[in-house]
Structure 1
Amino acid sequence: MRTLVDLALAPEHRRGHGALYDGLNCGGLDVERFRMSLAALPLPRAADGRIVLAVDVSPWLRSDAQTSAERLFCHVHGRGKNAAQFVPGWPYSFVAALETGRTSWTAVLDAVRLGPADDETAVTATQLRGVVGRLLAAGHWRDGDNDILLVADAGYDVTRLAFLLADLPVELVGRIRSDRVLRLPAPPRRPGTNGRLPRHGGEFALSNPDTWPQPRHATTTRTTRYGTATASSWDRLHPRLTHRAAWLEHDGRLPIIEGTLILLRVERIPGTGAPKPIWLWSSRTGACPQHVDRLWQAFLRRFDLEHTFRLFKQTLGWTAPKFRTPEAADRWTWLIIAAHTQLRLARHLAEDLRRPWERPAAAGRLTPARVRRGFRNIRAKTTLPAGAPKPGKPGPGRPPGSKNRRPAPRHDVGKTIKREKTLAARLGQPG
């Protein structure tokens, strides 16, 4: 699907192309009811029975849409080295439940568009709180079950997310930059010394092995895809917070957010050069070696969400329409999530309509693209939720040759709210 007109001409649509545009531009969608319906569906679980949720941002690039409001500069990776760039677009934050094993399937549960005035970490915390609350209301988690595992990449402030979601039965694990400096636990008071107790221990510079103490646990695992994986973990490491940036509005003493630091080294990564070590931070302290292995394996499953984004854009046509308003883009995004959910629920009914050069897929192992290929045969046996089309004619539109006397307004790109950078500036004190 390249354009909305192509979708309107499909036999399943049963409406004119004008009705599709009007519905997306002026229609309505009960998003909260849809979210509750997604949370009530069966969810995939990890090998130990816990729910693993991944959160990530995917941009809808609109570089040439000067009349579209609420666009931000979205980070886009280039094909060459240091070829990344920032392109205007609408960034969307997705939350999906991950499956176990090597698969391209995820269960998308929520999507939120980030606006120019939004704090990304605060919006993500509110989004995750809503998803977890709906899962609890649907009965997917009960007292005594394992905590829900939330997986995030390096673009998130995972320690702040852990602080904001500390009252929920969740555990966060996320990648952190390799140039970070964390703090060890504060040492106990020595006999015969006076003064205030220290809050932080020595520095743990991720880029300087001389500052690393002996790891608490070290495990070695043989994998078929990455070769030998070695994980070393240190307990009760925390960042030293200051009254700047996200913590500027925090009243009183800043908290100490302790967790488990994990260093993951793998032997190889398919399709890339020499693998670099991966640093992970978990909000759980006192993790055993088995749980440390479970954390880094769950983090590697996070990349399944990248396959979902690729399916959205290349197969389902998520970013194909050229909407002007972000509200219409939100409605279309939820329709794409509904289509993906239908494919996921109907994958056991689809036949393997493979092309001559494709390998046969095992039973129950069809990819989302192959299920979508055979979905037309499944749809003919299902009920149609839409009513019969009503006869109608398109409007006359603007007369040929006339000028547009009401041009659409132009909108700037980027953030619209700036905050003071220091606590002294917020309190009106001289620097």
Structure 2
Amino acid sequence: MGRARSRGDPSTYGPADGSWQGTDANGHAVEVSWWTRLHLPKARHIEVTVIRVLRQRASDRPRDPRESWFLWEGSAEACLSAVALGYRRRYSHEHGYRFDKQSLLWAQPRLRTPAQFERWSQIVAIVHNHLVLARPQVQAALRPWETTQREASPQQVRRAMAKIVAQLGTPARPAKPRGKSRGRPKGTVIPPAPRYPVVYKSKPGAKKRRKRA
């Protein structure tokens, strides 16, 4: 059988490769420890860093845990304390992704190649950045139930962009009528579009129940 695994026992962690102590945005004490050059059991070729964030003043609830663990894959010279404390901004990042998908149509086009989707993602990111830069230049269009005490959101700025776009104009030349196109030459054979394999998500396997002794 062997010795049972120990989970949550600090004596099994081993000495940390680095630590940092400071305060968060609310002025509460935070202790960050990390262990570098670790590997996943099923992916030995991937080197990761495990980060432990300890906040003694936390309420220890699901949304405000006292002890948090994170997995970092990237440059070993990154400021791991800033990475751990920056995780609290994940909530705003999720809303940004939702805005890109719903309002900027990030996931709407049906593109064929990864290069096309990468180009479209860059265009969506540029539009999002333009909305952020235009925030102090436009008067946000608010709904009756929206408050004026907060900074304008990208969605509110997007509603008011028609006025500023009309003032800026466009570098494109006006369209000229060309008449009817002659079309493709007679006898042209159009090959079928290349097909790419569809990536499906694997279904989670059924959990096996352990028999009680």
Fold conserved between structures, TM > 0.5: yes
Normalising by structure 2, we get a TM-score of 0.61
TM-aligned CA distance change 1:217 to 1:391, over 3 Å: closer
Residues 352, 371 of structure 1: 8 Å contact kept: yes
The structure with more radius of gyration:
2
Q: 1:222 to 1:375 in 2, by over 3 A?
A: closer
Alpha carbons of structure 1 residues 371 and 275: separation in structure 2 relative to 1, 3 Å? same
Deviations 1:157-205 (A, max 9, x none): xxxxxxxxxxxxxxxxxxxxxxxxxxxxxxxxxxxxxxxxxxxxxxxx8
Aligned residue for 2:85?
297
Tell which has more relative contact order, 1 or 2 (C-alpha 8 A, sep 6+).
1
The answer on whether the counterparts of 1:350 and 1:378 sit within 8 Å (CA) in structure 2 is yes
CA RMSD of aligned residues (A): 4.4
Structure 1 partner of 2:59? 267
- 1:17-56 mapped onto 2 (5 Å cutoff): none
Matched ranges for 1:70-89 at <5 A: none
Q: Is the 8 A contact 2:51 2:84 kept in 1?
A: no
Q: For residue 128 of structure 2, what is the aligned residue in structure 1?
A: 340
Paired residue type of 2:173:
G
1:231 and 2:30 aligned: yes
Q: Which amino acid aligns with 1:238?
A: T
- Call closer, same or farther: CA 1:357–1:207 in 2, change over 3 Å: same
- Deviation of 1:367 (Å): 0.9
- Kindly state the Cα deviation for residue 375 of structure 1 after the two structures are TM-superposed: 0.7
Check the 8 A contact 2:106/2:124 in 1, yes or no: yes
| TM superposition shift of 1:388 | 1.3
Structure 2 residues without counterparts, runs of 5 or longer: 1-5, 185-189, 201-213
Q: 1:100-120 CA distances to partner (integer Å, 9 max, x unpaired)?
A: xxxxxxxxxxxxxxxxxxxxx
The 8 Å contact of residues 262 and 281 in structure 1, kept in 2 or not, is answered as no
1:328 Cα offset (Å): 3.7
Tell me the SS of whatever aligns to 1:348: helix
Q: Distance in 2 between matches of 1:326 and 1:394?
A: 34
**Given the superposition, is the C-alpha separation of residues 324 and 276 from structure 1 closer, same or farther in structure 2, using an over 3 Å criterion?**
farther
Asked whether the equivalents of residues 231 and 262 of structure 1 are also in contact (C-alpha less than 8 Å), the reply is no
Secondary structure, aligned partner of 2:168: coil
- CA distance in structure 2 between the partners assigned to 1:316 and 1:407 by the alignment: 31
TM-score, normalising length: structure 1 = 0.34
Distance 1:407 1:372, change over 3 A: same
Q: Kindly provide the amino acid, as one letter, of the partner of residue 355 in structure 1.
A: R
**CA distance in structure 2 between the partners assigned to 1:409 and 1:310 by the alignment:** 31
In the TM superposition, what is the alpha-carbon distance from 1:381 to its structure 2 partner? Answer: 1.3
Q: Could you tell me how far apart the structure 2 residues matched to 1:284 and 1:332 are?
A: 31
Over 3 Å counting, the alpha-carbon distance change for 1:374 and 1:209 in structure 2 is same
Count of aligned residue pairs for this structure pair: 183
Q: Residue 58 of structure 1 aligns with which residue?
A: none
Kept in 2: contact 1:263–1:278 (CA 8 A) = yes
Q: Does 1:313 align with 2:114?
A: no
- Shift in Å at residue 358 of structure 1? 0.9
Is 1:323 equivalent to 2:111 in the alignment?
yes
